[in-house]
């Protein structure tokens, strides 16, 4: 019994100490530091932030794109609240 426990602990230590634990990680999601309408904008939802095809965000150019009409009451960055925003395209 002790031998089996020792082997299991040794295997755990090997996997934990490996330099690349990518097999244990899910794809990393990057947060962009702001939310719109209560939805945090991340790399996972940047192509369609609200899930309705209206808002998208390009982190490389720091551009929020509107494809249609939108009215959002709450726009936050990580430290403060902004005003209501409306846009028509």
Distance separating alpha carbons of residues 71 and 5, to the nearest angstrom: 59
Residues 6+ apart with CB under 8 A from 12: none
Per-residue pLDDT of the chain (89 residues; tens, 9 = 90+): 778 777 887 776 666 666 655 555 556 899 988 888 788 999 999 999 989 998 999 999 988 888 888 776 666 676 665 544 555 55
pLDDT of residue 80: 60
- Domain ranges within the chain, ordered by starting residue: 31-87
pLDDT of residue 2: 77
Residues 6+ apart with CB under 8 A from 53: 67, 68
Radius of gyration of the chain (CA): 21
Determine how many CB atoms are found less than 10 A away from the CB of residue 23. 7
């Amino acid at each position: 019994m002790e031998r089996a426990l020792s082997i299991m602990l040794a295997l755990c230590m090997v996997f934990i100490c490996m330099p690349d634990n990518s097999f244990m990680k899910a794809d990393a999601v990057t947060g962009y530091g702001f939310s719109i309408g209560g939805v945090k904008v991340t790399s996972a939802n940047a192509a369609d932030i609200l899930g309705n095809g209206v808002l998208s965000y390009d982190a490389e150019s720091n551009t929020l794109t509107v494809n249609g009409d939108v009215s959002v009451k709450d726009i936050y960055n990580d430290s403060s609240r902004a005003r209501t925003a409306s846009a028509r395209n």
